[in-house]
Amino acid sequence: MRIIPFFKRPLTNIVWATLLLSAVSPLTFAAALPDFTHLVEQAAPAVVNISTSRTVDQQAEVKQFSLPNQDQLPDIFKHFFERQFPQQKPRQQGPNPKPQSLGSGFIISADGYLLTNHHVIEDADKIIVSLSDRREMEAELVGSDPSSDLALLKIDADQLPYLTLADSDQLKVGEWVLAIGSPFGFDHSVTAGIVSAKGRSLRTETYVPFIQTDVAINPGNSGGPLFNLNGEVVGINSQIYTRSGGFMGLSFAIPSNTATSVVAQLRDHGAVSRGWLGVQIQEVSQDLAESFGLDKAAGALIAQVIVGSPALDAGLQAGDVITSVNGNEIILSAQVAHFIGALAPEEIARIGLVRGGEKIHIEVVIGTLPDQIAAALGALEQGQNLARIGLRVASLPAEKAKAWRIGHGVEIIEVDQGVAQELGLQAGDVITNIANQRIESVEQIVGLVAQLPPRRSISLRIVRQGRPLYVAFRLNQ
């Protein structure tokens, strides 16, 4: 009789392999995953809760905050405390303090300086900081910067636990990160994930190259820290992308390097000064890249040079394509604002350009961004959202109007999901007529779109690369 050894029996081999895997795999997987326990023990005491109050006139109508149905909510970036406040009915006339929802923050020095988001403390008359040891203190607002959505606070205390701001430029996509905050008021909740992308440009903040993560962030996390595995702060949780009002896998944090620069200016001056170049720019499409002699659709096309700006003094021209700033390659136009805004006034920036198919470099003495120009440029960058048809539009650049021989219209600067995407509309197209009405301004088209009837055919005339085209669409609601 032939005897088959135990380890050579087919069925036995399967059983043996299963037993071996069941014993080894959990250990292997556990070893591959990070252990956050020590990080949380060390970092959590420096994370705080922040609540605010502001005086309101109780005689005025109190706004009801509630989440609309998902199909009614446009795809926009939500600040964390929007639509979170319960309805309150006035009981008496005159001013009365109105409590606001909780946010998060963290201590950055032993003598009581704290960092949080601007939108957490915006318009607050009183700011209360709750420490991990259950103490509550009123905080002083040292300074706030709406453009970066950061605010610096100070409490009267010393020998406090504090966190260190790391070099966020060293952060890598795919790296593990962790957040601590108070989502929906649940103190010191810990969530973890990975870095999904870096240098994201959002509509609401022109000067911040956001860190995108898949860390679960919800209302109440706003202003809290985002850690690397060394327990250092690499970002400040600020925004989420959502249709429901809650976490959907897309969270955005302000890089710690941005925060370091802002904190220094807020502490020393109470305000933030940003570098100013003085150009209006747009993305470079494939067609534009070919026409300007570029190897690829990358860079920032200068659509206009502002009179009296540093760019004009240095000789920059409409039609130039910015390809680098101080050696940093420009892929998307929004990166220009990131790099220039981070420079101090009077610094010299070396701008790489393509002009007439030729690569050149020009040195520009950076100026100070005036407040009124900052507001105007912010409005230009963000445009106006036409959520019903899935578009964002801005005023028609004079150069494009002349080149395409268009006397009126608005330019599409972004296409979202919805009717616009189904029609094949593109950024750079110009809308000249809608519902048989001539479009003269952004304000006009906003009003017209709001009044368009549902379930009826609506005509839309666009101009693309100088060629007119009519299309028709219907709105479901």
CA distances from 21 to 8, 15, 16, 27 (A): 18, 10, 9, 10
Active site residue 123: no
Write down the catalytic residue from 222, 251, 309, 324.
222
Answer yes or no: are the C-beta atoms of 240 and 214 closer than 8 Å.
no
How far apart, in whole angstroms, are the C-alpha atoms of residue 42 and residue 228? 13
The closest alpha carbon to 126, from 48, 52, 49, 50, belongs to: 52
Answer yes or no: are the C-beta atoms of 158 and 112 closer than 8 Å.
yes
How far apart, in whole angstroms, are the C-alpha atoms of residue 268 and residue 113? 13
Active site residue 222: yes
CA distances from 96 to 59, 93, 260, 324 (A): 10, 8, 36, 53
Active site residue 196: no
Paired tokens of 143: 């300074």
No. of H helices and E strands in the chain? 11, 30
Eight-state DSSP code of residue 93: S
How far apart, in whole angstroms, are the C-alpha atoms of residue 358 and residue 341? 27
Write down the catalytic residue from 149, 196, 238, 324.
149
DSSP result, 184-252:
GG-TTEEEEEEEEEEEE--SS-SS--EEEE-S---TT-TT-EEE-TTS-EEEEEEEEEESSSS--S-EE
Q: Is 214 exposed, middle or buried (0-12, 13-18, 19+ CB in 10 A)?
A: middle
Write down the catalytic residue from 79, 118, 119, 338.
119
Answer yes or no: are the C-beta atoms of 67 and 245 closer than 8 Å.
yes
The catalytic residues are: 119, 149, 222
